[in-house]
A and B are shown apart, each in its own frame.
Chain A
Amino acid sequence: MKAFRKIVMAAAVSAMAIGAAHAADKTKIALVVKSLGNGFFEAAHEGADEAAKKLGDVQVIYTGPTDTTAEGQIQVLNTLIAQHVDAIAISANDKDAVVPTLKKAMQRGIDVISWDSAVAPAGREMHLNPSSNELIGQTLVKLAQQALPDGKGKIAILSASATATNQNTWIAAMKDQLKDHPDIDLVTTVYGDDLSDKSYREAEGLMKSYPDLKAIVAPTSVGIVAAAQAVEDAGKTGQINVTGLGLPSEMAGHVKTGASKSFALWNPIDLGYAATMIAYQLATDKAEAKDGATIDIGRLGSVKLDSDNEGVMGEPFVFNADNIDKYAKMY
C-alpha cells in the first residue's frame, strides 16, 4: 500500500511539474458558458479568440455543459481546476450553486470573473455587465432621435409589463435623458406584457390614437418585433420608426423592410473579448479587481469597478441594415 502511495505521489508531482511547464508557455483562460451550441455564446467564443490573438500568449478553452444546469457547469469547473487553468470567466447557470466550486478554484490560485450572467460576489473577483441602465436609456433616446425628421417629433414607449423591473429602470433612464431633448415629445407608455398579440394590439392602438406618431421605442425583444409587424401591416413603414432592444435574428426581416432603421442589444463578440482581456490581466497580475480599479479592455476602452466589484462594458451595440445579416446568424 505504501509503495502504491509513493508511486501515485511521484506521478502526481511529475504531473504537476508538467502542468507548471505548460502554464509557463501560455496563459490558459477558460471561457465557461451556460451551454454549448448556443449562437450567443459561440459569438462570445469568437470574441475571446480575437482577444487571445491580440494578447499573443493566451490559450482560450471554450467549454460548458450540454444543457443549462448548475451540476453540469460544476463538473466542467472541476476539470478546469484539475488542469490548473490560470483564469475562469463564467456566465453562470445558477448564481449560488457554482459559488463553492469557484471558491475552491480561487483557493487554488485561479482568477475567477463572471460575465453576462453573474455569480454571487463570494464566488468571483469581479463581474462584467454588458451595459448599465443609464447607458441603455441614453442609447434608446439616441436611436429614437436619429430616425426622427429634424430630430423632433412624437414618440411612444411599448414596454413589457407595468411591473417589469428591468424595463421600468430603463424607461426611467430614458425619461432622465429626455429632459435634455425638449424637441422629443414622449406621448405615452403602453404595456404589451411581453405577449406578441397584446403588444401588437397596443402598437395598433398607438398608431390610431396618435396619427402623427414618429417612433415607437420598445425596450423588450417581444414588443419590438410585434410593433415592427404592426407598423408594416398598417402600411406606415417609413413614417413610424420602430426601435428599442431586440434580437438580431428576430429583427432582421423588419430591418430589411425598413420598419426598424436600427435597434440595440449587447454584442456577444465584445463580451467574450472583454471578459478574456480582463481575465488575462487578472491572471498575469497586470490588474487587480478592487473597488475603483480601472481595467483596460483593448479596443473597447476600459472598465471601472464599483464597490460591488462590478464593471460595465459600454453602450449597447447598435444593429442596422449594414450589420444585421452578420449578427442575425448568431443569435
Chain B
Amino acid sequence: MSETAANPRRIPDRLSGRGMAALQSWESLLVVVAIAVFVANTLASPYFLDPYSLSDATYNFTERAMIGFAMALLIISGEIDLSVASIIALASTAMGAAAAAGFGIPVLVVVALVVGLVCGAFNGFLVTRLGLPSIVVTIGTLSLFRGIAFIVLGDQAYTSYPSGFSWFGMGYVFWVVTFELVLFVVFAVIYGIVLHKTNFGRQVTVIGNNPTAALFSGIRVARVKFILFLLTGVMSGIAAVCLTARLGSTRPSIALGWELEVVTMVVLGGVNILGGSGTIPGVVLGAMIMGMVTFGLGLLNVPGTVMSIFTGILLIAVIALPIVWRRVRTRMRT
C-alpha cells in the first residue's frame, strides 16, 4: 500500500493495523471476487453445485496453475518465461516417443521431467550467462521447442500410452478429489513456503525490486534466476505429464497458447508484471477465479468468443478496481 506516495498531502497519524492491512490487500479483494463468481455461478446454473461438475471444473486451471506458481516466482524476480507451453509440447512428444518404444510409466515421467529441466536450463543459460533479455530468449525458444515437436511428429500423433497412465490426468485420489487437484494443492503449499518463508524467496523478491542492490548485498543473482528457470521448466514437464495423461495422446499442437493463460493467471493473482511483488495465495485465487469463470460461462453455453472478451474484461477490472478505489478514496479525504 502506498497511499502516501499517491497523495503527499495526506500524512498518516498512525500505521494501519495488521487486520486493516489484510482487509485492504489484493488477496482479500480476490477472495471477494471468487465468492461472487461462485455465488453467481450457483444462481445462474443448476448444474454448477454438483461435486463431479466442480471436480471437472478444476481441470480448467490445475495444470496451468502448477506452471503459474513457478512463473510467479520468475516474474517476481523480474524475468519471464514464454516458452512454457512449448516445453509441454516437447516433453509430451518425448514421452510419446518413449511410450512408443515400450517404456513404462516411471520412465515416461522421468523423461518429461528431464526434458523440462533441460529446456529450463537452456533458457536460464541464455538469460543468465549470456545476459540476453528473457522475453526475447523465451519467445525464441517458444518457437524452437514446439518446432522440434513438429519436426518429430508432423501431422501424426503418439497414442500408445500404457493403460494406467491416464490416472495422472483423470484419476481420483479419493471421492471427487483428482490427482491433479492434490498436486495443485501440494505445489501451492511448497511454493508458498519457498516464496514467503525462506531466504531464497526473500532473495527472489529483492532481485525483482532492485537487481543491482541485490547483487551488491551479496545475493548471487544469476544463480537464483537460473534456478527459477529450471523450476518453470520442471513444472512445465509435470504439467506435460498431467495433460498428456488426460488427453491420452500427443500432438505437436498440444497446449497451444497456454503461456499467455499462465501469465494472465499470475497477473490476475496480483503479481506485479514488472517484478518485485506478489504472493502465492494470490496466484491460487487468480487461478481458481479464471477456472470458475470459464466453467460457469461454459455451463450457460456462452460461446467461447464472448467468453474470452469476458475474461479480458475481468482481468482489466480486477487490476483497475483497487487503483480507481484508491483515487476515489484520496479524493474524498482531501
Sample 7 A-B pairs with CB under 8 A, ordered by A number: A15-B48, A66-B307, A78-B56, A82-B299, A83-B299, A94-B157, A100-B247
Which residues of B280-312 have CB atoms within 8 Å of chain A's CB atoms? 294-295, 298-299, 301, 303-305, 307-308
A120 to B247, CA, bound (A): 13
Kindly list chain B residues whose C-beta atoms are within 8 Å of the C-beta of A100.
166, 169-170, 246-248
* Contact B50–A36 (Cβ < 8 Å): no
Query: Is B44's beta carbon under 8 Å from chain A?
Result: no
* Contact A61–B248 (Cβ < 8 Å): no
The chain B residue sitting closest to A93, CB to CB, is B253
Query: Is B49's beta carbon under 8 Å from chain A?
Result: yes
Kindly list chain B residues whose C-beta atoms are within 8 Å of the C-beta of A9.
51
Kindly list chain B residues whose C-beta atoms are within 8 Å of the C-beta of A83.
45, 47, 299, 301
Given contacts A70-B251, A83-B47, A97-B248, whether A75 and B157 have CB atoms under 8 Å apart is no
Which residues of A59-87 have CB atoms within 8 Å of chain B's CB atoms? 61, 63-67, 69-72, 74-76, 78-79, 81-84
A interface SS class: helix
The chain A residue sitting closest to B258, CB to CB, is A71
The chain B residue sitting closest to A11, CB to CB, is B49
Query: Is A99's beta carbon under 8 Å from chain B?
Result: yes
* Contact A69–B253 (Cβ < 8 Å): yes
Tally the A-B contacts, defined by beta carbons under 8 Å. 110
Task: Give the residue of A22, A78, A94 whose beta carbon is less than 8 angstroms from that of B249.
Answer: A94
Query: Is B257's beta carbon under 8 Å from chain A?
Result: yes
Query: Is A37's beta carbon under 8 Å from chain B?
Result: yes
Given contacts A16-B50, A69-B253, A69-B256, whether A76 and B298 have CB atoms under 8 Å apart is yes
The chain A residue sitting closest to B166, CB to CB, is A100
- A-B contact sample (16 more), CB < 8 A, given A66-B304, A82-B48: A8-B49, A12-B50, A63-B301, A69-B256, A71-B255, A74-B247, A75-B298, A83-B301, A96-B249, A96-B251, A97-B249, A97-B251, A99-B249, A100-B166, A100-B248, A120-B159
Using a Cβ–Cβ cut-off of 8 Å, how many residues does chain B contribute to the interface with A?
41
Given contacts A19-B46, A97-B251, A100-B170, whether A8 and B298 have CB atoms under 8 Å apart is no
Q: Which of A19, A78, A82, A99 has the most CB of B within 10 A?
A: A82
A218 to B243, CA, bound (A): 42
A249 to B169, CA, bound (A): 42
Q: Which of A11, A18, A97 has the most CB of B within 10 A?
A: A97
Using a Cβ–Cβ cut-off of 8 Å, how many residues does chain A contribute to the interface with B?
37
Kindly list chain B residues whose C-beta atoms are within 8 Å of the C-beta of A67.
256-257
The chain A residue sitting closest to B304, CB to CB, is A66
B interface SS class: helix
* Contact B52–A82 (Cβ < 8 Å): yes
Query: Is B272's beta carbon under 8 Å from chain A?
Result: no
Q: Which of B47, B48, B299 has the most CB of A within 10 A?
A: B47
* Contact A81–B249 (Cβ < 8 Å): no
Q: Which of A19, A71, A81 has the most CB of B within 10 A?
A: A71
Kindly list chain B residues whose C-beta atoms are within 8 Å of the C-beta of A63.
301, 303-304
Query: Is B59's beta carbon under 8 Å from chain A?
Result: yes
A324 to B247, CA, bound (A): 40
The chain A residue sitting closest to B299, CB to CB, is A79
* Contact B294–A75 (Cβ < 8 Å): yes
Query: Is B53's beta carbon under 8 Å from chain A?
Result: yes
Min CB distance A311 to B, Å, is: 24
Query: Is A104's beta carbon under 8 Å from chain B?
Result: yes
Which residues of B223-269 have CB atoms within 8 Å of chain A's CB atoms? 243, 246-249, 251, 253-258
Query: Is B60's beta carbon under 8 Å from chain A?
Result: yes
Min CB distance A77 to B, Å, is: 9
* Contact A37–B51 (Cβ < 8 Å): no
* Contact B303–A36 (Cβ < 8 Å): yes
Query: Is B57's beta carbon under 8 Å from chain A?
Result: yes
Kindly list chain A residues whose C-beta atoms are within 8 Å of the C-beta of B48.
15, 82
The chain A residue sitting closest to B247, CB to CB, is A97
* Contact B49–A15 (Cβ < 8 Å): yes
A67 to B305, CA, bound (A): 9
Task: Give the residue of A18, A36, A74 whose beta carbon is less than 8 angstroms from that of B305.
Answer: A36
A125 to B127, CA, bound (A): 51
* Contact B304–A72 (Cβ < 8 Å): yes
Given contacts A15-B49, A67-B257, whether A79 and B295 have CB atoms under 8 Å apart is yes
Kindly list chain A residues whose C-beta atoms are within 8 Å of the C-beta of B47.
15, 19, 82-84
Min CB distance B39 to A, Å, is: 12
* Contact B169–A61 (Cβ < 8 Å): no
The chain B residue sitting closest to A76, CB to CB, is B298
Min CB distance B170 to A, Å, is: 6
8 closest pairs, A vs B, by CB? A79-B298, A82-B53, A96-B249, A66-B304, A97-B247, A18-B46, A78-B56, A11-B49
